[in-house]
């Protein structure tokens, strides 16, 4: 008994030694990570050429801009209704076309339901490519291809949506509970029957929710697409800016705000109903 107690006492200092070494190592590691994080943020500030003093020296210019932009020129409102509708419809067309093309790709690109592995890779490749090219770049490409106007805008939104929706859709399908699929396969149902009776009802509400959310995002991006000549409010904004019609610009910003908030509210309300 006694010898054991002594042995235990002797063991204690050694343990403390190991413990403090471990703690020192942990401290050094934390320090290194902190320094590295600060380094990363610092280089970002340098590369972006952050100069907060320009806000002060530029204060006069901004005040001038605000003075010239007020009050908003509401007499132009009637003229803006058509471009506003164009913007909404670009988002609507882009979302619907995107959903229609993303659905089959998502089915092929979901590991658990894909008919063949090569198709899975092809579908995932197309989806990733559509997503990795920004919608603004797609708009530039489509303006070159089909000319100015809302149509290239709609196409750009559609193609970019394929990328975003395709990925989310296939993730929803992959996360699906495979139990019902197995159960229906065992009843002797064909592949297509299993798909329409087990897969579709299980994932449809989530897909609809994602689609509605996408509409709301697409409305925002269709506003910007006008800058590269793809119609809608963005094009009006660009024109007004280059003609120094700042009161029209401020009107357009108000219209934009109303549209975006409206779309967000409506899509959120609809999503609550389907989920």
Partner 1 sequence: MLEVTNLSKRYPTGRVALRRANFRVEAGELVIVLGSNGSGKSTLLRCIARLIDPSEGEVRVADHDMTRLKGRELRRARTALAMISQHGNLVKRRSVLANVACGALGRIGGWRSRFGMLPAEELEAAHRYLAEVSLQDFWAQRAGTLSGGQAQRCAIARALAQRPRVLLADEPVASLDPEAAEDIMKLLRRLASEDKLAVVCVLHQPELAFRYADRVIGVKDGAIEFDLPAAEAQRLDISSLYTARAA
- Enumerate binding residues for partner 1 (CB under 8 A): 177, 179-180, 182-184, 186-190, 192-194, 196-198, 200-202, 204-205
Q: Hey, what long-range contacts does 192-199 have (CB within 8 A, 24 or more apart)?
A: 195/107, 195/113, 199/113, 199/173
Smallest gap from Cβ 191 to partner 1, in A, equals: 10
* Residue closer to partner 1, measured from CB, 78 or 188: 188
Whole-angstrom distance between the N-terminal and C-terminal Cα of the chain? 68
How distant, in Å, are the alpha carbons of 24, 176, 242, 251 from that of 71?
63, 54, 19, 9
State the nearest-atom distance from the C-beta of 275 to partner 1, in Å. Answer: 11
Beta carbon of residue 164, minimum distance to partner 1 (angstroms, whole number): 24
Q: What angle do CA 74, 264, 247 make, to 5 degrees?
A: 20
Helix (H) / strand (E) element for 189: namely: none
Q: How far is the CB of 206 from partner 1 (least distance, A)?
A: 10
Counting Cα atoms < 13 Å in the Cβ hemisphere of 131 gives 14
Torsion-angle region of residue 248: left (phi > 0), alpha (psi -120 to 50) or beta?
Answer: alpha
Nearer to partner 1, 66 or 200 (CB): 200
Name the residue nearer to partner 1 (CB basis): 52 or 188: 188
Of residues 76 and 202, the one with the C-beta less far from partner 1 = 202
The least CB distance from residue 179 to partner 1, in Å, is: 3
Q: Which H/E stretch holds residue 52?
A: none
Closer to partner 1 at the Cβ: 9 or 177? 177
Closest of 125, 131, 203, 120 to residue 161, by C-alpha: 131
Q: How far is the CB of 183 from partner 1 (least distance, A)?
A: 4
Identity of the residue, 127 or 181, whose beta carbon is nearer to partner 1 in the bound complex:
181
Give min distance, CB of 87 to partner 1, in A: 35
Spatial CA neighbour of 154 closest among 211, 219, 245: 219
Calpha distance 162→167 (Å, rounded):
8
Whether 118 contacts 139, CB under 8 Å: no
Choice between 48 and 186, CB closer to partner 1:
186
Closest-CA residue to 102 (of 138, 128, 133): 128
């Amino acid at each position: 008994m006694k010898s054991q107690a002594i042995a235990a006492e002797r063991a204690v200092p050694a343990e403390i030694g190991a413990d403090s070494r471990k703690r020192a190592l942990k401290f050094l590691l934390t320090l290194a990570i902190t320094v590295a994080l600060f380094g990363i943020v610092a280089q970002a500030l340098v590369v972006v050429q952050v100069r907060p003093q320009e806000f002060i020296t530029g204060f006069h210019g901004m005040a001038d801009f605000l003075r010239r932009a007020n009050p908003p020129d509401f007499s132009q409102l009637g003229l803006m209704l058509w471009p506003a509708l164009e913007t909404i419809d670009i988002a609507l067309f882009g979302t619907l076309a995107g959903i229609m093309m993303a659905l089959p790709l998502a089915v092929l690109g979901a590991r658990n339901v894909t008919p063949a592995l090569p198709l899975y890779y092809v579908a995932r490749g197309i989806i990733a490519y559509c997503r990795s090219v920004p919608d603004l770049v797609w708009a530039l490409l489509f303006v070159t291809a089909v000319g100015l106007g809302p149509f290239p805008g709609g196409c750009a939104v559609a193609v970019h949506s394929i990328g975003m929706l395709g990925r989310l859709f296939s993730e929803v399908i992959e996360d699906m509970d495979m139990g019902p699929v197995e159960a229906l396969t065992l009843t002797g149902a064909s592949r297509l029957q299993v798909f329409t009776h087990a897969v579709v009802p299980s994932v449809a509400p989530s897909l609809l929710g994602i689609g509605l959310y996408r509409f709301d995002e697409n409305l925002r991006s269709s506003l910007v697409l006008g800058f590269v000549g793809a119609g809608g409010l963005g094009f009006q904004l660009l024109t007004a800016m280059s003609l120094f019609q700042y009161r029209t610009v401020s009107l357009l910003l108000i219209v934009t705000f109303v549209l975006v908030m409206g779309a967000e509210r409506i899509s959120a309300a609809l999503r609550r109903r389907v989920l």
